[in-house]
Homo-oligomer: A and B are copies of this chain.
Amino acid sequence: MFEPRYVSDLLQKAVDAFARLPGIGPKSALRMALYLLKQEEAEAENLADSILELRKKVVYCSSCRMISDAPLCPVCSHPQREQGVICVVENVRDVMSIENTGSYKGLYHVLGGIISPIDGISPADLAIEPLLERLQKGNVQEVILALSTTMEGETTCFYLYKKMAQFPLKITTIARGVGFGDQLEYTDELTLGRSIENRQPFKPE
């Protein structure tokens, strides 16, 4: 374990603060602190300001619960997004991943987690009620469940499915199957089995 003895309390404080960030150990934290010491003061100020602004000004979208700079996020307020489709995801990062594919034009709903009795996360801890309120308004035709393919994800899908049964909706899940570029011999049996069951017509391009 690294311990910069006889050096600088200020350095130690900065190293400790960096080392609290996820994926950052004491050695990386030291490297980051020493780097900042060598840069212009403006560099450190820019980093500090970005951190404070991020934490103080970023809010959650009142509709989809995505992080946003404004009360309504850019997706929800975009005139060209399909207002009738909602893609339900676990967290903010999933929205970013789907946005980065560029193949989705509807809206999102961030649950903030998935049902997991082991981690003490019950349906009440998730943004399920706000989702049902959005559906209540009646202009949604399809809900896409884009959750993890784990047991917790499947449980959450099933729970949401039951809750949404009262609405005249098309409920879909994202396709599961063998990933592009994957070799069959290295694909797990469950995935391979399901991908054969859910086989689709071949479309020559």
Residue positions of A touching B, CB distance < 8 A: 2-11, 13-14, 16-18, 20-24, 28, 30-37, 39, 41, 43-58, 66-69, 73-75, 78, 92-93, 95-96, 99-100
Q: Determine the chain B residues whose CB is within 8 A of the CB of A53 once the complex forms.
A: 10, 13-14
| Neighbouring B residues of A45 by C-beta, 8 Å | 52, 55
Chain B residues near A44: list those with CB within 8 A: 51-52, 54-56
Residue ID in chain B nearest A59 by CB atoms: B8
Does B52 contact A37, Cβ atoms closer than 8 Å? no
User: What is the interface of chain A mostly: helix, strand, loop, or mixed?
Assistant: helix
Q: Find out whether the CB atom of A58 lies under 8 angstroms from the CB atom of B24.
A: no
Q: Are A13 and B50 in contact (CB under 8 A)?
A: yes
Closest to A5 in B: B99
**Chain A to chain B contacts (Cβ below 8 Å), 30 pairs:** A2-B100, A6-B73, A6-B74, A6-B75, A6-B78, A7-B67, A7-B68, A7-B96, A7-B99, A8-B58, A8-B67, A8-B68, A8-B69, A10-B54, A10-B58, A11-B58, A13-B53, A14-B54, A18-B47, A21-B32, A22-B32, A33-B54, A34-B92, A34-B93, A37-B54, A37-B58, A44-B52, A47-B48, A48-B48, A51-B51
